[in-house]
Amino acid sequence: EKGGYEHFMLKEIYEQPDAVTDTYRGRMLVEQSLIRMAGVDDNLERFLNADRIIIVACGTSWHAGLVAEYIFEDIARIPVEVEYASEFRYRNPIIGSKDVVIAISQSGETADTMAAIKLAKEKGAFVFGVCNVVGSSISRETHAGAYTHAGPEIGVASTKAFTTQITVLSLIALKLAKAKGAISNSDFQYHLEELDLIPEKIKQALASNEHIKKVAHKYMNAANFLYLGRGFNFPVALEGALKLKEISYIHAEGYPAAEMKHGPIALIDEKMPVVVIATKKGHYEKVVSNIQEIKSRKGKIIAVVTEGDQDVRSMADYVIEVPDTVEALTPLLTTIPLQLLSYHIAVMLGKNVDQPRNLAKSVTVE
């Protein structure tokens, strides 16, 4: 059942090239320069007339929502708010019939997300679900939706659900951008071609596994980790930290890189490993200067970089390369080494990777 892998989590990490392909198969027609998604096509006017999109979710799915916020705003120019479902449902949110709510949930059973959906529906919003489990409660409660088609996710720590959620949300953003005229035809086509290359590039990212194991071995005894990223990769930093916390029980925090100087930099000393996502895209130079700040305080730097990067390599203690892609899609690649890093650290510490203490696969109580 684990297909020769030691744990479900590792199997599911390795399934990501296929899972992402399954997510866009039949929806993204590269040759025709077209994205077809029934749930969106049938409700296109609702999406296009929306004043804003509100995304509600919990945990890793919330992180996928944050990535989507960057993608929707950048590509489709639609304002997006991302909310923890648990906060949204209890704070008397201002929401009406012109709002589109996107609820993201792997299991489709999360109690807080379900309650947020019910509230949004009561207030007249159109609610769209992005679920993995077919026929789940949330997929039934929403007005329309798109499944991620990641296949069953057994490991409690979410991996392939995250990357396929980002894939679905990218497809929706691109589709709306095209319908609104917010993206040129050539840029739209370029994004489709780049998305089509992602599964192969995830495979290349997975090929760093042995190297990542060495990094894991080096830092497995650290008491704390910091994860930093900017822009599209800020939520990836949050997700990397969550993965490490969940399965290795090492305290980790994710931050937007520039926020470091507003507090967390006080934590940095020679015992603090800092995982920095520093792909050669927007804000690259700024991240490089953040790395210098860490370095001058003797922090240990593990940098996720674009293939061939030399500048960061000269400063970092370890670099992990991912292939280049268009900026909006970098989270699909930068996430991979962070999943593997937390996996190997947890295994080396002898933790129960697939069933971490105190956690359940679907959280059906608030």
Each residue of 313-344: b (16+ CB within 10 Å) or e? Answer: eebbebbbbbbbbbbbbbbbbbbbbbbbbbbb
Stretch that binds ligand F6R, among 151-159, 167-175, 269-277, 346-354 (CB under 6 A): 151-159
Q: Are strands 126-131 and 100-105 parallel, antiparallel or unpaired?
A: parallel
Q: How far is the CB of 364 from ligand F6R (least distance, A)?
A: 10
Tell me, by CB under 6 A, how many residues bind ligand F6R.
Answer: 16
Closest CB to ligand F6R belongs to which residue?
59
Q: Which residues are catalytic?
A: 361
Of 266-305, binders to ligand F6R (CB under 6 A) are none
| CA atoms of 50 and 288, how far apart (whole Å) | 38
* Residue window 110-139: x/- pattern of binding to ligand F6R, with contact defined by CB under 6 A: x--x--------------------------
* Residue window 216-255: x/- pattern of binding to ligand F6R, with contact defined by CB under 6 A: --------------------------x---x---------
Near ligand F6R by CB under 6 A: residue from 12, 35, 46, 59? 59
Each residue of 38-57: b (16+ CB within 10 Å) or e? Answer: ebbeebeebbeebeebbbbb
Near ligand F6R by CB under 6 A: residue from 67, 78, 117, 157? 157
Contact between residue 343 and residue 9 where contact means Cβ atoms under 8 Å apart:
yes
Tell me if 309 contacts ligand F6R by CB under 6 A.
no
* Residue window 325-354: x/- pattern of binding to ligand F6R, with contact defined by CB under 6 A: ------------------------------
| CA atoms of 300 and 294, how far apart (whole Å) | 8
User: Which structure tokens are listed for 139?
Assistant: 């997929």
CA neighbor of 289 nearest in space, from 317, 262, 258: 258
